[in-house]
Amino acid sequence: MPIYEFHCEDCAQDSEILVRTRDWSGTPCPRCGSPRLTKKLSVFASSVPAGGAGGGDGPNCSSNPSSCGMCGTGKAHSH
């Protein structure tokens, strides 16, 4: 069962909701109960080796947060 991210148009809060069917319309907001939800674009996360996507001897970081392969993984590293 997928977990989707939704934005409630009534209370303006974002929530992650476990949806048991493809037809999520009518799913209530867990905060206010409103069915006026819009589905958000979810961010995909993946795990990469410590050397980054290239797998070299060291990190492949150019001080650009999206270039090192470690950013967004939750693992401690520095730029």
Q: Whole-model pTM?
A: 0.49
39 with 28: CB under 8 angstroms?
Answer: no
Q: What is the rounded distance in angstroms from the CA atom of residue 21 to the CA atom of residue 49?
A: 35
Per the CB < 8 A criterion, the answer to whether 52 and 69 are in contact is: yes
Which band of pLDDT confidence, cut at 50, 70 and 90, is reported for residue 9?
A: very high
Q: Is residue 22 part of a domain?
A: yes
pLDDT score recorded for residue 54:
46
- What percent of the chain is predicted at pLDDT more than 70? 52
Residue 77 within a domain: no
In a domain, 52, yes or no: no
60 is a domain residue: no
Does some domain include residue 63? no
**Does the residue 23 lie in any domain?**
yes
Number of Cβ within a 10 Å radius of residue 67 = 15
What pLDDT shows up at residue 4? 82
* Structural domains counted in the chain: 1
What whole-number distance in Å separates Cα of residue 51 and Cα of residue 36? 44
Residue span of the structural domain in which 22 resides: 3-39
Q: Is residue 79 part of a domain?
A: no
In a domain, 57, yes or no: no
50-70 pLDDT, tens digit per residue, is 554 444 444 455 555 555 666
Whether the predicted pLDDT of 26 surpasses 70: yes
